[in-house]
């Protein structure tokens, strides 16, 4: 019997099977002198995402659906899975070297993590543990959104403008579990392969279409939107746009990122400064959209340039394809 020829793998043409962890390690190798902490932080976020996805899959069986019986700092009713996801993320991130500060939608204040000996880069990780949790009881899409900043020596300026984010991303829990990430050099999409228990990169350097025929907004609030938004949305309907609104920012922004169009949460009479939170909803989504070639605005300027006042600050949000956002801003300026 003849001996089979050896299989030769060329290092110049690596396989397409790239995990999230391998992707992050490769990104950090591009920048000599980095500590490697960012990879470990993203790894913790991935472990949390896989655990949350498993909880969601068996949510009805394990009795983790429904009201937890308390309110968060926002005055919103907490779902059981809000609390579970929040605890999980805090526990995992708190054990990661390099994490100095943790901030969550579900906690009143920032949590400070004791520094490890040895120094090096230290980061603040801010997140919405379970965006759209009102969808849980009806089997709708939910997600996790996160933002990562480097903390300057001495811990000053923990809350910084979104332009200073070093990484941002979200996880969409749906028919598959999707992890979208940017570390300032393009937007990359990973899908959880449950057979191997890893997020696999399926798209790199995502680009949002320059324009789209889709808008995503809660039109139940239309009557209380400022006139410029009402006029713009009327123009969208006249132009035959499609309306899609899932009630979870992650799901709505993900659709706009892939298909083009615009996502809106304008000011309303009930929420005159906007409803979405700057630090762990608007900033990370704005970074992703801008890295993909789109625009993200408060209606008066780029979201990423806004200096924060506090952890739970709210802002109006308009983000998506450059042409669509530009058309909205032109209409807002005309009716100021």
CATH of residue 287's domain is: 3.40.190.80
Q: Which of 170, 203, 236 is the last residue of a domain?
A: 203
Domain range for 75 is 20-203
Domain termination site, one of 158, 177, 203: 203
Q: Count of domains in the chain?
A: 2
> pLDDT tens, position by position, for the chain (336 residues)?
556 666 555 555 555 689 999 999 888 877 655 668 899 999 999 999 999 999 888 766 566 555 545 555 555 556 788 899 999 999 999 999 899 999 999 999 999 987 765 567 889 999 999 998 888 778 789 999 999 999 987 666 679 999 999 999 999 999 899 999 999 999 999 999 999 999 999 999 999 999 999 999 999 999 999 999 999 999 999 999 999 999 999 999 999 999 999 999 999 999 999 999 999 999 999 999 999 999 999 999 999 999 999 999 999 999 999 999 999 999 999 987
Q: Which residue has the tokens 């579990």?
A: 177
273 and 191 housed in the same domain: no
Whether residues 57 and 133 fall in one domain: yes
Q: Alpha helix locations (H) across 120-168?
A: none
Give the dihedral of Cα atoms 226, 231, 232, 238; nearest 10 deg: 150
Q: What angle do CA 34, 43, 194 make, to 5 degrees?
A: 145
Q: Are residues 278 and 134 in the same domain?
A: no
- Please check whether residues 73 and 191 belong to one and the same domain: yes
| 148 lies in the same domain as 29 | yes
Asked, for residue 208, whether it belongs to a domain, the answer is: no
Residue 259 and residue 282 in one domain: yes
Residue 150 and residue 73 share a domain: yes
Domain boundary among 152, 184, 203: 203
Q: Which pTM value belongs to this model?
A: 0.90
- Identify whether residues 289 and 169 lie together within a single domain: no
Residues 6+ apart with CB under 8 A from 170: 131, 143, 144, 145, 146, 179, 180, 250, 253, 254, 284, 285, 288
Q: Which two tokens stand for residue 109?
A: 């204040």
């Amino acid at each position: 019997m003849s001996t089979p020829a050896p299989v030769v793998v060329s290092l110049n043409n690596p396989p397409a099977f790239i995990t999230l962890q391998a992707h992050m390690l490769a990104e950090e190798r591009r920048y000599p002198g980095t500590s490697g902490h960012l990879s470990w932080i993203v790894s913790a976020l991935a472990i949390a995402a896989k655990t949350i996805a498993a909880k969601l899959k068996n949510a009805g069986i394990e009795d983790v659906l429904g009201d937890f019986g308390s309110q968060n700092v926002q005055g919103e009713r907490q779902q059981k899975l809000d609390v579970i996801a929040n605890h999980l993320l805090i526990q995992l991130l708190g054990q990661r070297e390099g994490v100095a500060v943790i901030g969550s939608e579900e906690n009143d204040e920032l949590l400070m993590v004791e520094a490890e000996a040895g120094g090096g880069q230290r980061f603040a990780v801010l997140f919405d543990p379970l965006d759209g949790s009102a969808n849980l009881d009806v089997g709708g899409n939910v997600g996790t959104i996160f933002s990562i900043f480097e903390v300057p020596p001495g811990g000053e300026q923990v809350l910084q403008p979104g332009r200073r984010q070093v990484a941002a991303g979200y996880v969409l829990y749906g028919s598959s579990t999707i992890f979208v990430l940017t570390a300032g050099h393009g937007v990359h999409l990973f899908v959880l392969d449950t057979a191997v228990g890893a997020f696999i990169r399926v798209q790199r350097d995502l680009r949002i279409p320059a324009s789209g025929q889709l808008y995503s907004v809660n039109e139940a609030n239309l009557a209380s939107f400022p006139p410029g938004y009402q006029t713009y949305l009327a123009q969208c309907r006249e132009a035959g746009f499609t309306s899609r609104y899932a009630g979870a920012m992650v799901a709505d922004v993900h659709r706009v990122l892939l298909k083009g169009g615009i996502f809106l949460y304008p000011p309303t009479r009930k929420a005159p400064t906007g409803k979405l939170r700057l630090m762990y909803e608007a900033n990370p989504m704005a970074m992703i959209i801008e890295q993909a070639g789109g625009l993200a605005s408060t209606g008066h300027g780029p979201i990423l340039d806004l200096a924060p006042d506090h952890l739970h600050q709210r802002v109006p949000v308009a983000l998506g394809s450059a042409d669509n956002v530009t058309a909205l801003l032109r209409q807002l300026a005309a009716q100021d």
